[in-house]
Amino acid sequence: MSLARVSGGSVLRTRSRLRRVLIEVSSLVLVVALLVWSLTPVYNMLLIALDPDEGDIEFEGIIWPPNPSLHSFHAVVTQGYWLVEDFWRQFGNSFFIGLMTMFLTVLIGSLASFALGRTRLRQSWLLANAPLVTYAVPTSFLVIPFTRLMASYDLSNTLWAIVAANVTFAAPYAILILRQYATLIPIELDQAAWVDGASPVQVYRRIYLPLMTPALAAVGTFALLLAWNEYVYQYVLLSSTRNMTVAVAIAQFFNSDEAPLNYMMAAALIYSLPPIVIFYALRRYMAAGLTRGALKG
Amino acid sequence: MSSVQQVLAAGPGALNRLRRSVWRRPRHGPELAWAIAFVVPYAAVFLAFVVYPVAYGLWMARDPSLYRELIANPLYAQTVVNTALFVGLGVNVKMFLALLLSGFFMRRRWWIKALLPVYILPWALPSIPAFVSFHWMLIGEEGFVDSVLSAVLGIAGPLWFRDRWLALGANIVAYIWKWMPFWTLTFYAGRTAIPQEIYEAAAVDGASGYRRFAHVILPLLGNLYLVCTLLSTLWTIGDFTTVSLVSEGAPSYSTDVLATLGIHYAFEGAQPALGVAAVMSALPVLIPIVILLMRALQTRETQL
């Protein structure tokens, strides 16, 4: 009797151990699959960029670079080819657009979310939802009237036109996330400050902004990545080489038949570095910012 | 984070006395004027870059004959089907996988934690180089994917951009690759906000695996999932970059979506009004989604 129970227990134990091993093995398999999934396109970029041939590239069905060379990176960095002759200027343009979008989205978004969440205006359902209306007309849809508009605002072929478009589309999401995160900060804190005679600007600067740091970092990263990912407005609105961004320059390579692909991929890899660095630097804040905003309505 | 937790730890109890006196402040006064001043920058952006261009766009596409011309072209119906497939499959598969994977990343194993930064890479990688890379990966027998297929399995891979369905599939896969990490991170954040006690209570009651997912995770994350799916649908309907760089609409415009068709008409076909009409024809779908989104956000606020 007792023997049977013991053996039954050990069968159960081996079975549960088997199950645990199975779970570990399958999650290892999943990890490897996700690694391959995430890295294959990046590996493909490296494969093409490391090809030493200048000019026309012939793929020979390679899956491993036969004689890797950093020649194409060197050519891009020293602007040694006509399609990359303005590379650093274009890189600067991309930076300007990215950082301005980040800064203005955080500034305008935090001001608006402060007004909509912490003042008398918070009762206003209409005002709170107005930003979302923006998404009823997605980005690439607006670009056609936008080009006409930019001519009338005298902003055609300027970087500010791109910044304006980016801020327009990043701000509603920013306001949404910031308002949700702000529900975590007790309104009583503000009220205590009002009683002490603080001005709205002081409440915003001394209480709201410091306590909102994680959400502001999350929203700022979002805006930066939106600007770095954005293509259609840059493609349509920026026409001169000097005002072009790296994104458009890469796409230009893409449309030109004789363009050396290894230079394009080298430029693309260099272009990818800044957001990756900034992203990983802000990642810790970012998770916290999204966390709280995510579940607490 | 710690500062926020301190704020929370202080709790509302100590501050209740203040509340009463504050609520008796006059409803209108300097505070309202200030509040309006804080909203002005955003309101200016909204009027100048949303309201005005939308009104201008609608005015550009006001002629009903434009829509007749649009629909008369067989390309339009095909594009609508493509858009529905691209958005429907792309968004839903991506969201569902993101929800499942966010649970996987909750597991406490160092090698799963170590995977997370690599897994997030596609989101941090700018979309232009990423999609250009996808295009060259699938370019044909010289592309990386077919090279691997012939080297490892010894089979000749397909010509991806010669077939409408393969090209459409390539667009969808590239889209999922690019955007799944962002939503996985959002759901991961949502899951970490669920108190640990709830998981423990579920474990005590014997709920694990599928049952825990269906009866614990889904009810708690359901509304977040809905909001994210709606938001993502809105963004994806306007997605130009994926299709314009991965398949380039190949073969012969048969994988175009509304966003790329509209821009073809407007900038390459020099018919801006027709281009606007093409994209504005999605409004009957977009507006209900926005209304649903507003309502979903509303319920979240009343729940808490």
Number of domains in chain B: 2
Residue B170 is predicted with a pLDDT of 93
Q: Are B193 and B266 in the same domain?
A: yes
> Range with the lowest mean pLDDT among A103-117, B219-233, B268-282?
B268-282
Q: With the CA atoms of A150, A156, A161 and A162 taken in that order, what torsion angle do they form, in degrees rounded to the nearest 10?
A: 120
> What does the alpha-carbon distance between residue B274 and residue B263 come to, in Å, rounded to a whole number?
10
> What does the alpha-carbon distance between residue A97 and residue A230 come to, in Å, rounded to a whole number?
10
Chain A to chain B, count of Cβ pairs less than 8 Å apart? 343
- Tell me if chain A has a CB within 8 Å of the CB of B138: no
Q: What is the mean pLDDT of residues B67-81?
A: 89
Q: Are B48 and B101 in the same domain?
A: no
Q: Are B158 and B202 in the same domain?
A: yes
User: Do B224 and B139 touch, CB atoms closer than 8 A?
Assistant: no
B202 falls within a domain: yes
Chain B positions touching A63 (Cβ under 8 A) are: 144, 147-148, 151
pLDDT digits (tens, 9 = 90+) for A112-134: 988 888 777 666 677 777 788 88
Question: What's the one-letter identity of residue A176?
Answer: L
Dihedral of alpha carbons A70, A76, A77, A81, sign? positive
CB contact under 8 A, B118 and A39: yes
Whether the predicted interface score ipTM is above 0.90? no
**Annotated domain spans of chain A:** 2-74, 79-295
Q: Are B190 and B54 in the same domain?
A: no
Q: Are B27 and B164 in the same domain?
A: no
Chain A positions touching B262 (Cβ under 8 A) are: 140-141, 144
Q: Are B275 and B157 in the same domain?
A: yes
CB contact under 8 A, B3 and A247: no
Question: What's the one-letter identity of residue A218?
Answer: A
Count the helices and strands in chain A (H runs, E runs). Answer: 13, 0
> What does the alpha-carbon distance between residue B177 and residue B182 come to, in Å, rounded to a whole number?
10
Phi, psi of B251 (to 5 degrees): -75, 130
Q: How many residues does chain B have?
A: 304
CB contact under 8 A, A111 and B123: no
Helices marked H in A83-152: 87-118, 125-133, 139-152
The residue from B60, B89, B111 where one domain ends is B60
**Which residues, 6 or more positions from B277, have their beta carbon under 8 angstroms from its beta carbon?**
B61, B66, B67, B70
Q: How far is B302 from chain A (nearest CA, A)?
A: 8
Q: Are B46 and B178 in the same domain?
A: no
B191 falls within a domain: yes
Report which of A44, A184, A43 is spatially closest to residue A118, judged by C-alpha positions. A184
Q: What would the DSSP string read from start to end of chain B? A: -HHHHHHHHHTTGGGHHHHHHHHTS-SSSHHHHHHHHHHHHHHHHHIIIIIHHHHHHHHHT--HHHHHHHHHSHHHHHHHHHHHHHHHHHHHHHHHHHHHHHHHTTS--HHHHHHHHHHHHHHHS-HHHHHHHHHHHTSSTTSHHHHHIIIII--PPP-GGGSHHHHHHHHHHHHHHHHHHHHHHHHHHHHHTS-HHHHHHHHHTT--THHHIIIIIHHHHHHHHHHHHHHHHHHHHT--HHHHHTTTT-STTTT--HHHHHHIIIIISS-HHHHHHHHHTTHHHHHHHHHHHHHHHHHHHHH-
Q: Are B248 and B274 in the same domain?
A: yes
Q: What does pTM read for this prediction?
A: 0.83
CB contact under 8 A, A134 and B25: no
Scanning B177-206 for CB atoms below 8 A from A yields 177, 181, 185-190, 192-194
The residue from B29, B60, B91 where one domain ends is B60
Q: What domain range is B287 assigned to?
A: 74-303
User: Do A238 and A143 touch, CB atoms closer than 8 A?
Assistant: no
Q: Are B52 and B111 in the same domain?
A: no
Report which of A134, A217, A130 is spatially closest to residue A170, judged by C-alpha positions. A134
Nearest-CB residue to B128 (from A133, A194, A231)? A231
Structure tokens, A215: 């959400």
> What does the alpha-carbon distance between residue A267 and residue A256 come to, in Å, rounded to a whole number?
15
């060197």: which residue's tokens? Answer: A74
Closest residue in chain A to residue B35, using alpha carbons only: A115
Q: Are B230 and B126 in the same domain?
A: yes
Question: What's the one-letter identity of residue B159?
Answer: L
> What does the alpha-carbon distance between residue B228 and residue A180 come to, in Å, rounded to a whole number?
14
User: Do A177 and A219 touch, CB atoms closer than 8 A?
Assistant: yes
Comparing B199 with A98, the larger pLDDT belongs to A98
Q: How far is B91 from chain A (nearest CA, A)?
A: 15
CB contact under 8 A, B35 and A283: no
Q: How far is B249 from chain A (nearest CA, A)?
A: 14
């979008």: which residue's tokens? Answer: A101
pLDDT digits (tens, 9 = 90+) for A244-296: 888 888 888 777 766 777 888 888 888 888 888 887 787 777 666 655 544 44
Residue B302 is predicted with a pLDDT of 39
B186 falls within a domain: yes
> Range with the lowest mean pLDDT among A25-29, B10-14, B224-228, B259-263?
B10-14
Chain B positions touching A140 (Cβ under 8 A) are: 238-240, 259, 262-263, 279
Cα separation values, B251 from A81, A297, B70, B164, Å: 32, 45, 21, 6
Question: What's the one-letter identity of residue A283?
Answer: R
Report which of B152, B188, B119, B111 is spatially closest to residue A25, judged by C-alpha positions. B111
Chain A interface disruption, residue of B39, B62, B110, B198, most A CBs within 10 A: B39
Q: Are B55 and B195 in the same domain?
A: no
Q: How far is B181 from chain A (nearest CA, A)?
A: 10
Say yes or no to pLDDT of A235 above 90: no
Residue A292 is predicted with a pLDDT of 53
Chain A positions touching B235 (Cβ under 8 A) are: 135, 138-139
CB contact under 8 A, B39 and A116: yes
Say yes or no to pLDDT of B20 above 70: no
pLDDT digits (tens, 9 = 90+) for B266-283: 888 788 888 888 888 888
Q: Are B163 and B21 in the same domain?
A: no
> What does the alpha-carbon distance between residue B46 and residue B172 come to, in Å, rounded to a whole number?
32
CB contact under 8 A, A108 and B45: yes
Structural domain A79-295, CATH architecture: Orthogonal Bundle (1.10)
Scanning B23-62 for CB atoms below 8 A from A yields 25, 27-28, 31-32, 34-36, 38-39, 41-42, 45-46, 48-50, 52-54, 56-57, 60
Nearest-CB residue to A297 (from B101, B112, B303)? B303
Chain B positions touching A145 (Cβ under 8 A) are: 53-54, 56-57, 60, 276
B136 falls within a domain: yes
> What does the alpha-carbon distance between residue A242 and residue B81 come to, in Å, rounded to a whole number?
39
CA angle centred on A53, ends A52 and A56, rounded to 5°: 150
B8 falls within a domain: no
> What does the alpha-carbon distance between residue B97 and residue B38 come to, in Å, rounded to a whole number?
40
B181 burial (CB, 10 Å; 0-12 / 13-18 / 19+) is buried
User: Do A63 and B147 touch, CB atoms closer than 8 A?
Assistant: yes
Residue A297 is predicted with a pLDDT of 35
CB contact under 8 A, A39 and B134: no
Closest residue in chain B to residue A98, using alpha carbons only: B126
> What does the alpha-carbon distance between residue B79 and residue B241 come to, in Å, rounded to a whole number?
16
Chain A positions touching B50 (Cβ under 8 A) are: 133-134, 137, 142, 168
pLDDT digits (tens, 9 = 90+) for B163-212: 899 999 999 999 999 999 989 988 888 888 777 788 788 878 877 777 77
CB contact under 8 A, A146 and B49: yes
Residue B93 is predicted with a pLDDT of 97
Packed helices B110-124 and B164-192: angle between N→C axes, nearest 10 degrees: 130
CATH number of B271's domain: 1.10.3720.10
Give the distance from CA A214 to its chain's centroid.
16
Closest residue in chain B to residue A111, using alpha carbons only: B38
